[in-house]
Amino acid sequence: MTVLEPGLYIVATPIGNLRDLSPRAADILSRADVIAVEDSRVTAGLLRHIGTKRPMLPYHDHNAEGMRPALISRMGSEAVALVSDAGTPLISDPGYKLVRDARAAGHLVVTIPGPCAAIAALTLAGLPTDRFLFCGFLPSKEKARADAIAEVANIRATLVLYESGPRLAACLTALAQGLGDRDAAVTREITKRFEEAVTAPLSALAARYADAPPKGEIVIVVAPPGEAPPASLEDGDAALAEALTRLPAAKAAGEVAKKLGLDRKALYARALAMKDNG
């Protein structure tokens, strides 16, 4: 067995079905000098699946600050693999600071891509995938959650969120209130025997899970906002009136035409009429 070059190896692990571990990921985990893990019990099960044992060190939200210098130091002479309990490290998991500091120290950083619950859910949801925003977990407190939803309400992209079973109905209700009753999907048990993707408007999904919270971690996928109707000349009157307080009629018409996608000549005529009536 050849020795791995010293550095940091970011290894994606299965999100459910252990057979999804790639041959390359299995090879790296088998040869790493040490594996930084969220939960050693979870990673030990994965290592048993591929028939190997490797030293493990805990690396998670609660100890990352203290563990990072020791891991960085070891990368100078050892191959350090980073895994999460499931899926791709750094996606809603600690790790980006470890990557940043490893690069700053001049160490090799390699990614071994593979399963990711957010991407898998997008493939199941049947919603637009050309542009999406990963939002991770929303805050648990009602106002903070509503504020977070308001921040993304007007983004023209499909939204992808993680959530737990007990909080699912409240999260779906808050999404319906903050985004409108958009089409959405609730996906769970991805890659497992009882994989499920339920699609419906947000309000219907909230009602479905209100009295029957599912087990496990869930991915919610929400459709982007609908297309806004095209602006009319009447819609441009307020903007035109404001622009006329600063600009001559021709320049005011040009500014509003560019902003709202309206005909400049028609706006110029309306601007002249406004000035005459003013």
- Look up residue 18 and give its DSSP letter: G
**Same domain, yes or no, for 245 and 164?**
no
Does residue 227 fall inside a structural domain?
A: no
Does residue 172 fall inside a structural domain?
A: yes
Question: Which CA distances in Å does 235 have to 78, 228, 257, 262, 277?
Answer: 65, 13, 11, 10, 19
Under 8 Å between Cβ of 25 and 112: yes
* 240 band by pLDDT with thresholds 50, 70 and 90: confident
Structural domain harbouring 134: 118-222
Question: How many angstroms separate the most distant Cα atoms in the chain?
Answer: 87
Under 8 Å between Cβ of 112 and 24: yes
**Same domain, yes or no, for 65 and 43?**
yes
Does residue 161 fall inside a structural domain?
A: yes
**Same domain, yes or no, for 146 and 176?**
yes
23 or 94: which leads in pLDDT:
23
**Domain count along the chain:** 3
User: Taking the model in full, what pTM does it have?
Assistant: 0.79
**Same domain, yes or no, for 206 and 268?**
no
**What is the pLDDT averaged over residues 245-260?**
88
The domain boundary, picked from 222, 245, 262, lies at: 222
**Same domain, yes or no, for 15 and 57?**
yes
Q: How many CA atoms lie within 13 A of 184 on its CB side?
A: 28
- Which residue stretches of the chain are H helix? 23-31, 40-49, 64-74, 96-104, 117-125, 142-152, 168-179, 202-210, 233-244, 249-260, 264-277
Is pLDDT at 277 greater than 80 in this prediction? no
**Same domain, yes or no, for 51 and 87?**
yes
Q: pLDDT > 70: what percent of the chain? A: 98
**Sequence-separated (6 or more) residues with CB below 8 Å from residue 20:** 14, 114, 115, 191
Does residue 1 fall inside a structural domain?
A: no
Identity at 238, one-letter amino acid code? A
| pLDDT at res. 229 | 62
**Same domain, yes or no, for 46 and 95?**
yes
| pLDDT at res. 215 | 87
Is pLDDT at 172 greater than 80 in this prediction? yes
List, for residues 6-30, the tens digit of each pLDDT value: 999 999 999 999 999 999 999 999 9
**What is the pLDDT averaged over residues 82-93?**
93
**What is the pLDDT averaged over residues 83-94?**
92
Under 8 Å between Cβ of 125 and 185: yes
Judging by beta carbons within 10 Å of its beta carbon (0-12, 13-18, 19+), is residue 226 exposed, middle or buried? exposed
| pLDDT at res. 226 | 84
Does residue 25 fall inside a structural domain?
A: yes
Q: Which long-range contacts (CB under 8 A, 24 or more apart) does 241-246 make?
A: 241/274, 244/271, 244/274, 244/275
| pLDDT at res. 88 | 96
Q: The domain spanning residue 188 has which CATH number? A: 3.30.950.10
**Same domain, yes or no, for 94 and 150?**
no
Is pLDDT at 231 greater than 80 in this prediction? no
**Same domain, yes or no, for 196 and 142?**
yes
Does residue 168 fall inside a structural domain?
A: yes
* 274 band by pLDDT with thresholds 50, 70 and 90: confident
Of 139, 134, 184, 183, residue with least CA distance to 161: 134
List, for residues 202-225, the tens digit of each pLDDT value: 999 999 999 999 988 899 999 999
Under 8 Å between Cβ of 160 and 149: no
**Same domain, yes or no, for 124 and 212?**
yes
The domain boundary, picked from 88, 115, 142, lies at: 115
**Same domain, yes or no, for 140 and 51?**
no
The domain boundary, picked from 66, 86, 115, lies at: 115
Does residue 228 fall inside a structural domain?
A: no
List, for residues 28-74, the tens digit of each pLDDT value: 999 999 999 999 999 999 999 999 999 999 999 899 999 999 999 99
Mean model confidence pLDDT for the chain: 93
Does residue 136 fall inside a structural domain?
A: yes
Is pLDDT at 228 greater than 60 in this prediction? no
For helices 64-74 and 96-104, the axis angle rounded to 10 degrees is 40
**Same domain, yes or no, for 96 and 146?**
no
Is pLDDT at 278 greater than 70 in this prediction? no
What residues are paired with 200 via a beta bridge? 184
| pLDDT at res. 227 | 63
CA separation for the pair 240, 96 (Å, rounded): 47
